């Protein structure tokens, strides 16, 4: 699952981070990518926008690569406790 998230983050920074389960980080990366893209589309603000997009892109790849892939949103297991009946004579 981590490999799929890294591939998705290559093309859409932040979306792969959401898949891994880091919601706050993923949303922040998506917002910063959009802001950086808008800034890069303008003339003078591209000095800030292009490095911002590149930095967020690298941050997105690193945050997924260092994540724990067992806590993904797509493959989450629900664990519940089942009460165990005690037999007579057991402590």
Does residue 17 sit within a domain? yes
CA nearest 6: which of 80, 75, 57, 74? 57
> In this structure, is residue 77 part of a structural domain?
no
Q: Is the dihedral of CA 2, 8, 13, 14 positive or negative?
A: negative
Residue 80 falls inside a structural domain? no
pTM for this predicted structure: 0.71
- How many domains does the chain contain in total? 1
Burial 64-86 (b: 16+ CB within 10 A, else e): beebeeeebeeeeeeeeeeeeee
Structural domain includes residue 53: yes
Position 28 in a domain = yes
Backbone angles phi, psi at 35, to 5 degrees: -60, -45
- Is residue 35, in this structure, part of any structural domain at all? yes
Domain range enclosing 61: 2-69
Counting residues of the chain whose pLDDT is more than 90, the rounded percentage is 52
Question: pLDDT tens digits for 41-73?
Answer: 988 888 999 999 999 999 999 998 887 655 555
């Amino acid at each position: 699952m981590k490999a799929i998230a890294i591939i998705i983050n290559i093309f859409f920074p932040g979306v792969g981070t959401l898949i891994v389960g880091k919601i706050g980080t993923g949303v922040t990366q998506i917002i910063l990518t959009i802001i950086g893209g808008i800034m890069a589309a303008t003339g003078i603000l591209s000095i800030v926008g292009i490095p911002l997009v590149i930095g967020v892109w690298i941050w997105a790849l690193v945050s997924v690569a260092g994540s724990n892939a067992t806590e993904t949103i797509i493959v989450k297991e629900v664990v519940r406790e089942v009460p165990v009946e005690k037999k007579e004579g057991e402590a």
